[in-house]
Structure 1
Amino acid sequence: MTSPKDIVLNAWKTFSSGDVDRIAALFTDDAEWIAPKGNATAIALDHTDHMVGAKQIARFIAQEMHKMFFGIDIAFRGVYADGDTVIVEERMRATLAGGKAYENDYCFVFTVAGERIREVREYMDTRKGWRMVFGEEAR
């Protein structure tokens, strides 16, 4: 059996493939990805901040987020595991669709069920993200 930490690290490699079916296979059918309400990415893409289902999550990772972020560079700061929970700290850098630079720190809390991801809770500096995306203070 693969460890939850290895499952999550493999998922990050697979996310960059852009293959919706391979990405969807990483998640349980009823998986959830929960981001902060009203975050800049969700608002800019007119997208939900709470995705449910492997296919919806996979489409966002493989296709929808690339309408906003180009040249994505992920730098891991730490990966920590305890039982079925894996925490990933990272910094994401990219170029926004309008050409401006984007850089923000993230923390993801993954819950693994068997060999697949059941839940992801995403945390980021929402105020900083809002300013980079919209150039103004968050509402």
Structure 2
Amino acid sequence: MTSPTNKDIVLNAWQTFRTRDAKLIAAAFAPDAEWIAPARNATAVALDHTDHMIGAEAIARFISTEMHRLFTEIDIAFRAVHADGDSVIVEERMRATLPGGRSYDNDYCFVFVVEAGRIKQVREYMDTRKGWQMVFGEAAA
């Protein structure tokens, strides 16, 4: 049997994220993994959370529990997945419901770095202005 490719590892991790099982999610990441998002992005500000998570457990806790305080009925649609060497790029659209029933709809790009079969780093990019408008309202942007 062949080992999973880095692309397989990242796609399998996305499936694991859906389980909201922190232990399973943490296992997809290296113990010292980092997740880096744009500074002061709307999600981090709304949740009073860091935009630079360090450690598999911190990342898993955010994915399994913390982000769901802001987003419910999450729907993620992949637009493309590209892999080259240890890097896997995921382009996606995330739709969700915000507190009070407001809609969230934003495009994202994630750059995953895989090392020794686990995710070592994630760099997250999104339309931060659009995120602020949806989370905090037009005037806040």
When normalised by structure 1's length, the TM-score is 0.98
CA distance in 1, matches of 2:139, 2:41: 12
Whole-angstrom CA distance in 1 between matches of 2:31 and 2:140: 34
CA drift of 1:137 comes to 4.8
Aligned residues: 139
Residue 136 of structure 1, CA deviation? 3.0
Do the aligned partners of 1:127 and 1:137 also contact (CA within 8 Å) in 2?
A: no
Distance of 2:39 and 2:77 partners within structure 1: 24
Letter aligned with residue 102 of structure 2:
K
Matches within 5 A, 1:27-106: 27-106=29-108
| Counterpart-to-counterpart distance in 1, 2:76 and 2:91 | 10
1:120 and 1:111 map into 2 onto residues whose CA distance is 6
For structure 2, the residue ranges without an aligned partner over 5 or more in a row are none
**How many angstroms apart in 1 are the aligned matches of 2:52 and 2:120?**
13
Tell me the equivalent position of 2:25: 23
User: Larger helix proportion, structure 1 or 2?
Assistant: 2
1:2 to 4, 11, 19: 4
Q: Which letter maps to 2:77?
A: A
Aligned partners of 1:74 and 1:90 also within 8 Å? yes
Say if 1:71 and 1:82 are closer, same or farther in 2 by CA, change over 3 A.
Answer: same
**Alpha carbons 1:127, 1:138 under 8 Å: kept:** no
Stretches of structure 1 lacking an aligned partner (at least 5 in a row) = none
What percent of counterpart residues are identical? 70
Q: TM-score, normalised by structure 2?
A: 0.96
